[in-house]
Structure 1
Amino acid sequence: MSMVKQSIDVDVPLRMAYNQWTQFEEFPRFMEGVEDVRQLDDQHCHWRTKVAGVEREFDTEIVDQLPDERISWRTVGGDVKQKGVVTFQPLDEAHTRVSLAMDFEPEGMPEKMGDALGVVDRRVKGDLKRFKGFIEESGESRGWRGRISPTDAQGGGMPSGGQAGMTPTDAPIRETPGPGMRGSTGRTLPPDPDDMRHG
């Protein structure tokens, strides 16, 4: 396995940066080589990528998601082997550090050569730079703020750059109004306790 770690500071509040990252189907707008991401359910996405002329399709599973702190994932099935975690750290009320750590297994000679030459590292750095431009220009985004814990996924785990050992808060929080509504990614949003009290 190879590892890549990159961070970037974005000029938006923590909540805004986190919310945008939960909109997985928008990843092709700032991730190089990502052709399409389709949300299957709260924990799973189907990806279609094209890198150096090689097309791949694979599924990912979220193994740990804590609002405003981290999202970790791994691939499930197929030939693509990777796992990663993105973390969010508030620098002040208007700035956030987004850090990405990813373990991956290069497949075939082109990918192994690209890994040796630092191609993946530069691509991830470029993706984060494009994310910065995207979120700073697009403004507020609704996000899915439910909690997924490692016990929700079978045999979870995260790369060594992850934030293991953090204490989770299990209460799901929702950004989009209306209990049980579905977000733009098709996720079912948990009811808002405030909505329950007022009606």
Structure 2
Amino acid sequence: MRTLEEQIEVTAPVGTAWSQLHRVAEYPEFVGGVVHATARGRRHADLEVEFGGERHRVDAELTDHGRGRVMSWETDGPPLRGTFALRPLDASRTQVQVRLEYDPDELKDAVGGPRGFAQSRAVEEAVRSDLQLFKQLCEE
């Protein structure tokens, strides 16, 4: 299992960033590969994702961890799980940290793409890109 941690500072209050994380229908605007997303109750998101040149339906379970502004998620395929943690830096700035856990071999089997170091690099670049898009949405 590999773990990737990235963080970014957003010029927006923590409440704004927290609300953006819960706008499931807007996931395609900041999560690469997500074509369509719909909330299903408070704890699930139905995602239509594109990978390996094909579209797939994915169920994501979302879990909020109290008032600490932490949201965890896990998909039923491709095999990914992670956590978003938001920390207010002051009234108008928030640190967003994402932790992603994945098995490179299972991910390769599910979505194709490169192997080894090249795959890890591709995952890192995708997460950084998604964080930049999330930042832009929060700051608009």
**Which TM-score applies when normalising by structure 2?**
0.85
Q: Show structure 1 runs of 4+ deviating over 4 A.
A: none
Per the alignment, residue 81 of structure 2 pairs with 83
Greater helix share, structure number = 2
Name the CA distance, whole Å, in 2 between partners of 1:67 and 1:33: 30
Paired with 2:134 and 2:31, the residues of 1 have a C-alpha distance of 8
Structure 1's 38 and 13: CA in aligned 2 closer, same or farther, altered over 3 A? Answer: same
Letter of the 1:38 counterpart = T
Instruction: Could you tell me which runs of 5 or more consecutive residues in structure 2 were left unpaired when the two chains were aligned.
Output: none
Match in the other structure for 1:15: 15
2:89 aligned partner, one-letter code: L
Q: 1:119 to 1:11 in 2, by over 3 A?
A: same
* Matching of residues 32-181 of structure 1 within 5 Å: 32-67=32-67, 69-76=69-76, 79-105=77-103, 106-108=107-109, 111=112, 113=114, 116-117=117-118, 118-137=121-140
Write 1 or 2 for the structure with the bigger share of strand: 2
**Does the Cα contact within 8 Å between 2:6 and 2:98 map onto a contact in 1?**
yes
Aligned-CA RMSD value? 2.0
Contact (CA 8 Å) 1:89, 1:98: kept in 2 or not?
yes
Distance 1:109 1:51, change over 3 A: closer
SS of residue in 2 equivalent to 1:131: helix
8 A Cα contact 1:18 1:68, kept in partner: no
Q: Distance in 2 between matches of 1:72 and 1:20?
A: 15
Which has the larger displacement, 29-38 or 117-126? 29-38
> Which consecutive residues of structure 1, in runs of 5 or more, have no partner in the other structure?
138-199
- Taking every aligned residue pair, what percent have the same amino acid on both sides? 24
What CA distance in whole angstroms lies between the structure 1 residues aligned with 2:115 and 2:139?
30
Shift of residue 112 of structure 1?
5.8
Q: Provide the aligned length of Structure 1 versus Structure 2.
A: 135
How does the TM-score come out when normalised to structure 1?
A: 0.62
Structure with the greater alpha carbon radius of gyration: 1
Of the two structures, which has the highest relative contact order with CA contacts closer than 8 Å and spacing of 6 or more?
2
Shift of the 41–109 alpha-carbon distance from structure 1 to 2, 3 Å rule, reads: closer
Q: CA deviation at 1:52?
A: 4.9
Mapped contact 1:27–1:37 kept (Cα < 8 A):
yes
**Partner secondary structure for residue 130 of structure 1:** helix
